[in-house]
Each structure stands twice: as C-alpha cells, then as structure tokens.
C-alpha cells in the first residue's frame, strides 16, 4: 500500500542544490526500505545521491539504517522525516588506495634520488635495500588487497576525511620513514651499519624471513575474513582458524609484528614512531571489532582477546 510522507532538511539547512525542493513529498510503500526512500529522494533531486543523505524521524537524532523497512521504523502516512546532507562522499576503496599510494611512491624518490634530499649521493647498504623492498612490497600488497580482497561494510566516507586519513601514512610511513631510512647514516660505509650486526647477512636473512611470515599471515587472515562475507552483503560469520583462536583481529597483530621486525632490523626512529602510532590505532579498531563481534554473536562467540594474545 502506497502513502505519502514529508522529508525536510534538518533545521532547514538544506544543501544549495536542494533548497528549492525541500520539504519534499515522497510516495512510498510500507515494504520500502530506508535505502529505497533515499533513492526516491535522489530521483527528485539528482545531486542528492544516497550516500550523502542521513535520514531520521523528525526531532530524533538517531539515523535510520539503510536496510530498515519503513514499517519497522514506525513510518506511515503523514510521517515527517528529516534529511541531513553529509557532504561530498568518496568510496572507501578509493580512500585506502590513496592512503597506501603515498608511501609506495615516496620511498622510491628518496631511495633513487638521494642527492635531491641529502645533497649527496648515497651508496646504499644491504640494510637499506632490504628495508626498501619490505616497505614497497608491504604497501603494494595493501593496495592489491584493497582492490581485490577487502569487502567494506560502508560504501563511502566524507571526502574531507581522505586528507585526514592519508596524513598518517603519507607523513609517518612516507616522508618521515623514507627520509630516515635512506640517509647517509644508514649507508654501506656508515659506522652505524659497517661491521655491525646490521651488515650481517644472516641477521638480515632472519629478519626477512620473519617479516615474510608475518606479512603472509596477515594476508591469510584477510582472505579468511573475505570468505565469511558473501559479495554484496553485510553478513558475516564467526571468524575461526589461523590466528583467530587467540584474538579477534589477528590481521592487526600480524601487521604490527611485521613492523616490529622493521624496527628491530633498522633501529630507525621513524619506523618506531610509525609502528607505535599504527599499533595504537589498530588496537582501538580491534577493541571496537571485538565488542561488535561479542554483541552480534553473543554466547556463540568464543573467549579470546581483541588483538594481543592473553593480554588485550
């Protein structure tokens, strides 16, 4: 059964392109979802695409989820809803590619053009060559995972956030880490490297092996998480198996351990800074995901920590 509802802007603050169209009368069905309603609003105001819209019942702050049926939300004939403009949006996949592309592009500049940054040529040590390979492979892997492995719960985010999110990677693991790793102090002739354990082939081989193990372990957990979410859905099952027996987010654990290897191998202050900040952020994400898993699966969710086995 079809009926009409009214959609107005929150506090009459409609975006410029919608000011003449709001308030808006929309014909809906009780079986329509909130997303269906958003699509009907977009049909009337083409620039107001669905990911820019945040719908709520009039005078209520809580947003209505896209998959909620209108009848389940108590919306019927004559109901009044408010729409908030979330501003220009960008896809999460694009956000992650931009984040990871920064370090991936910055490191070759510092590695191959040292005179541009240090005003002298640098004969790279095996330590620098290995660190460079690790960083490039890591971020190439992250970009490929974003394009072909990850599935996202949310389609978009505010466009401005892409600059905020990218700063962490572009500055800490891009500019800072590249500038520190490839400078003359880490070169083949430097006292910091020459004749020390950092020039020992066996030490470098062990570091490379450990780093590879943690990176492949991280990839394994990402592939497992992908297998739990069918394409085009937000459904997920309890993650089990490799790493998940100990923590809810072994992908974060393995990534942290991979960067710990880089820190120990190089001793770079920039690598420690990036590792600490990155681990702290991943721990926050892990705690949120752990809580979400426990809420969603209840007693069916196994006892495990969020990210650090036996501790947190």
**Is residue 310 situated within a structural domain?**
no
Other beta carbons within 10 angstroms of residue 52's beta carbon come to 22
pLDDT of residue 307: 98
- DSSP helix/strand/coil, 123: coil
The C-alpha torsion from 237 through 279 and 162 to 14, rounded to 10°, is: 70
What separation in angstroms does the CA of 5 have from each of 9, 16, 36, 70, 75?
14, 22, 13, 11, 8
The residue from 43, 61, 87 where one domain ends is: 87
- Beta strand spans in 152-293 (E): 156-158
**Is residue 32 situated within a structural domain?**
yes
- DSSP helix/strand/coil, 55: strand
- 272 lies in the same domain as 291: yes
- 75 lies in the same domain as 126: no
pLDDT of residue 186: 98
- 82 lies in the same domain as 118: no
Supply the CATH number for residue 77's domain: 3.10.20.90
pLDDT of residue 152: 78
The residue from 87, 102, 123 where one domain ends is: 87
**Is residue 33 situated within a structural domain?**
yes
The residue from 42, 66, 87 where one domain ends is: 87
- 250 lies in the same domain as 267: yes
- 275 lies in the same domain as 139: yes
**Is residue 37 situated within a structural domain?**
yes
Sequence-distant (6+) residues with CB within 8 A of 56 are: 10, 62, 63, 64, 81, 82, 84
- 95 lies in the same domain as 198: yes
Per-residue pLDDT in tens (0 to 9) along the chain, 312 residues: 788 899 998 877 788 999 889 999 999 998 899 999 999 999 999 999 999 999 999 878 889 988 899 999 889 888 999 999 998 999 889 999 999 999 999 999 999 999 999 999 999 999 999 999 999 999 999 999 999 998 877 678 888 888 888 998 999 999 999 999 999 999 999 999 999 999 999 999 999 999 999 999 999 999 999 988 776 666 778 999 999 999 999 999 999 999 999 999 999 999 999 999 999 999 999 999 999 999 999 999 999 999 999 999
Pairing between β-strand 2-9 and β-strand 80-85 as defined by DSSP bridges:
parallel
pLDDT of residue 10: 85
- 137 lies in the same domain as 224: yes
pLDDT of residue 155: 72
- 129 lies in the same domain as 273: yes
CB 306 within 8 A of CB 285: no
pLDDT of residue 233: 64
**Is residue 205 situated within a structural domain?**
yes
DSSP 298: G
Sequence-distant (6+) residues with CB within 8 A of 50 are: 35, 38, 39, 41, 42, 66
Total number of domains constituting the chain: 2
- 295 lies in the same domain as 194: yes
The domain containing residue 285 runs over which residues? Answer: 90-300
């Amino acid at each position: 059964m079809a009926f009409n509802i009214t959609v107005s802007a929150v506090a009459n603050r409609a975006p410029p392109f919608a000011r003449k169209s709001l308030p808006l009368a929309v014909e809906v069905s009780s079986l329509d979802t909130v997303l269906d309603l958003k699509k009907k609003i977009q049909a009337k105001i083409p620039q107001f695409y669905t990911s820019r819209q945040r719908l709520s019942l009039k005078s209520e702050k809580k947003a209505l989820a896209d998959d909620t049926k209108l009848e389940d939300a108590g919306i019927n004939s004559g109901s009044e809803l408010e729409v908030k403009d979330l501003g220009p949006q960008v896809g999460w996949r694009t956000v992650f590619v931009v984040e990871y592309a920064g370090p991936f592009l910055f490191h070759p500049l510092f590695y191959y053009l040292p005179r541009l940054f240090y005003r002298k040529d640098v004969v790279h040590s095996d330590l620098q060559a290995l660190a460079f390979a690790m960083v490039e492979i890591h971020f190439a892997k992250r970009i490929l995972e974003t394009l072909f492995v990850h599935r996202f719960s949310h389609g978009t985010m505010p466009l401005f956030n892409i600059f905020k999110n990218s700063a962490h990677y572009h500055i800490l693991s891009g500019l800072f880490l590249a500038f520190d790793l490839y400078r003359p102090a880490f070169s083949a002739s430097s006292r910091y490297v020459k004749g020390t354990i950092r020039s020992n082939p066996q030490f470098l081989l062990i570091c490379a092996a450990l780093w590879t193990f943690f990176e492949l372990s991280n990839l394994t957990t990402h592939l497992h998480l992908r297998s739990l979410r069918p394409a085009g859905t937000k459904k997920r099952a309890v993650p089990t198996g490799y790493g998940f027996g100990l923590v809810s987010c072994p992908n974060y654990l393995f990534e942290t351990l991979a960067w710990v290897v880089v820190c120990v191998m190089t001793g770079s202050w920039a690598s420690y800074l990036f590792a600490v900040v990155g681990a702290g952020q991943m721990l926050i994400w892990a705690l949120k995901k752990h809580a979400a898993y426990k809420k969603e699966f209840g007693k069916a969710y196994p006892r495990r920590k969020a990210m650090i086995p036996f501790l947190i």
